[in-house]
Every structure is written in structure tokens, then in C-alpha cells.
Chains A and B, each alone.
Chain A
Amino acid sequence: MVKLRRTMMYVTGNNPANIMEAHLYGSDSIMFDLEDSVSLKEKDSARFLVYNALKTMDYGNVETVVRINGLDTQFGRDDLEAMVRAQPDIIRLPKTETKQDIIDVDNMIGEIEKQIGLEVGSTKIMAAVESPLGVMNAYEIATASKRLVAIAIGAEDFVTNMKTTRSPEGIELLAARSNLLMAARAAGIYALDTVYTNIKDDDGFMDEVKLIKQLGFDGKSVIHPRQIGMVHKIYTPTEKEIRNAVRVVGAIKEAESKGSGVIALDGKMIDGPVVDRAYRVLELAKASGVYKEEEQND
């Protein structure tokens, strides 16, 4: 099964109401934030709250992500100690700039895993790139650890560093988004886009989602439940895409049943990326409720 990460909803780590209900809005992932949305005075309380939530709550199929503070701070190191033990699905590092950042955290997590008798490497991470240096090093970052399942772009700091601001067209982010995507694809991991902060501007939001989908991102970070449905709608495959995917999967099954190593459709050979895309289209279609497994048997 292909894991979908169309939407990752940000949830303030110090707000119990939000932590309790975040998974009910239908996003693929929820990200509990210990970093920017938590004031310096409340770092300890957010850490206790998210830790106890992960230990207690059943978030079902929703992927849980925790954004910790930077490891250049004591907060970040304390967060890591707590979160490797609380075991969300993914730990997200903010402001990654070099592969060494990833290697360091990989080692720190490994130490903790050993202490608690967890298999070394079982904790997964996601890196957020939020600076020009991080973007320039994107491929090295993306390949620095086997733990890494995704890289994400954080635009607010990035555009500030670039001496510009965000525009509706997103021209200022084009190079960074493209570079990050290529790094992710080359490394075989997911690429996630940044947040859109004006929750009242639906049109602007949808334009941006269409853009990043077209670029090739796996999904977008969202800051409000109302943004989730809009992303999912845009990521819903067309009927034509679904029909194609069904045919590709049919060809795979046929090849398997014949014991053939070569998959062919309409007399043409089908290779890896097309197969992957077909599975992904069907997952997207299933998640969007426009396709059910049984239809394959038609």
C-alpha cells in the first residue's frame, strides 16, 4: 500500500482541545508542534502534554508527527528524549541546513533507541528545510539517513532570508520548491509543501495547492481543518487517470499470474515509475472515495 501524505495538519502542542480532536478532521497526518507555536515559557508543558497524548490517545490511521525544537537548544534535546520514547510515527526536525544536522540527530536517536531497547533505526524522521543553505544542500540532507521519510519546505523563514515576501503566484519559491522536490525524488522520499497562512482566502489557497500538485509534491501542510477538504479534492485523480491505473494494475496481476517478469500493456512494456504511479493513483482515488477495490474485478 502506498502511504498518502496529502495533508499534514499543524496542531499547537499546548492546546488540549486541539490535540484531542485533530485526528477527526480527515487529514492524512497531524503534526503536534512543540516549536514555533509554543511560547518559550510553555515548552515544558507542551512536551508533557504531547507525550501523554501519544501515550494515551488512539489516533487510528492518522499518521502522527511531532515537530520538535531545534537541537541547538536544550528544548530540542529534551523534546527528542521524550518523543523517541513516546513514539509518534515521525519526528520532524525544524530548520535543517546540512547533512550533519541529520547525522547528529540520527545518532542521538540511535542512542535513545539502544537505551530503551528499541531497534536502532525504527524511529522515522522528517526534515524541514527553511533556509537557502538548506535548499542548496537538499539532496545531501535527503540522503543523510535511512530514517528520513520526507523533506518539507518551510517558506516563511526562507522568503525572509531571500529578502522577499510571499506572493500569490509563488514565483519566489519556485526554485526552492523545485530543488527540494528533485532532491526528494532522487532520494526516493516524500516531498511536502509549506503552509498557506491566510485561512480565509480559499481561492488563493486552492491556486497554490494546484501549483504544488502540478510540480509534483506529495502534499501540503495545513493550518486549519477547512483547508483539508480542498487539498484532498485537488488531489483526487480524474476518471481517466483511475481507468488507466486500473488497467496498469490489471496488467501487473496478469504478469504475476503468468509468472512473467515483464509487465506489458497494449503491447508496450511498463516500467517502475508507471507502476508506482498507478498504485498511488488508486490509493488517492480510494482515499477520495471515488474508487473501491472491487471495481478492479470488472
Chain B
Amino acid sequence: MSLLSLKGVTAHYGASQALFGVNLEIAEGSVVALMGRNGMGKSTTIKVICRLLKNPMGQVTFAGQDLAGLPAHRAARMGLGLVPEGRRCFTNLSVYENLYASARPGAWDFDKVHALFPRLKERSTQLAGSLSGGEQQMLAIGRALMTNPRLLILDEATEGLAPVVRQEIWAAIATLKQSGDLSILVVDKTLSELRRIADRVVILERGKSVWDGAMTDLDADVRDRHLGI
């Protein structure tokens, strides 16, 4: 059974339609890459999943429950953990406080997050706003993990980071995958890295899911047609 399922999802920003029919299935314990060129609706799809967009149409179910009408905080408590684009930590709070404020009961605690990102332990008392971009990203992932999610959603988690830091983040995501406890939905443009961790790929084009298949089936023709790479 799918952990997350989107069927025929449409969404609007005011009068402007952004999604025209998105279908997406994520099985328990799997890693799915959501791909597409800029402006194709990837971030809007994530907003729909996390209930951050008002009144989307179509069906979104998580762990067998319809998310329609559910406020964002309730969806998060059901197990949707979002690492948003642009990191967006609580900059006035320290690293420790960011994690502490988000903590919910479950397997993920300070020790596990610190084991995944030792640098967060070193920076514990430092204000989040004074961290480097990579450290803020680690904190954003750590904070999402502290909510003990069943599905971790990473929106452009490595964008704008130095290559060395990107490698660190990808290594952490690979570790999360190996643990097998989490399902992961990852939005990114780095195909070489996605190949290593994603089981399946869903491609969006003009607000519609146009290709859905195994990562191994993502051949040059599909890439050229839908991703332009």
C-alpha cells in the first residue's frame, strides 16, 4: 500500500492554475525523486502535500487518510516532515532550540540527529542565523527529523551549497535511506546524485505528471524530452 498517494491533483494561486493533474505514489520505505524543469509545479506539489495551499482539488491520501481539509500542523503530526526550499530555520533561536522546538516523541532524538550531523552538536549554542548555508541545511533536515516523520520531503535540499557540503548532505540522505525507517520524497536537479538514492522518478511538466517510472528506466530519451538534460 502507498504511504502517500496523489490522484488528479490540481491547484491554483488565486486565478492562476499551477497544477493540472498530478499523480504520485510513494511506497513505505521508498525514495522517490520529483523532477522537472523550473516552474513546472514541483514546489506547488509539495505545498499541496503539506497542506500549505488552500483548497487544492483531487485526492491526497497519507497513510490511508484523506488529507482534505486538514490543517498543515495536523498533516505534519501525522508524519509529514518538510525540509523547505531556502532552508528557513528559526534564525533567532539557537541550533539546540530549533531542534527542541520541533521535537515530537519517536525514534529520532538529539542523539540520532547529532550522529547524522555531528556539526550540529558542535554548533549547539550558536544562533541558527549565524550558521553557514550548509549547516543551516543540516539543521533544517535535523529539525524535520525531530518531528519523527514517516515521510521526509526534501525540497531542493542542496541548492546553492558548496560541492563539499552537497556531498555531506547527499551522504546523510543516503544514510537515511539505508536505515529503511523513512520514505523520502526528494526534489532536486542533480541527476547523478538522485540516481544513487532514488528508487523511482516522477517528472512534472507544466503542472502535470508526465512520466513515472523506475530510476533505471530514466533513459536519455526521457531526459531529453522532459528535463532538457
Q: Real complex partners, A and B?
A: no
On A, residues with C-beta under 8 Å from B are none
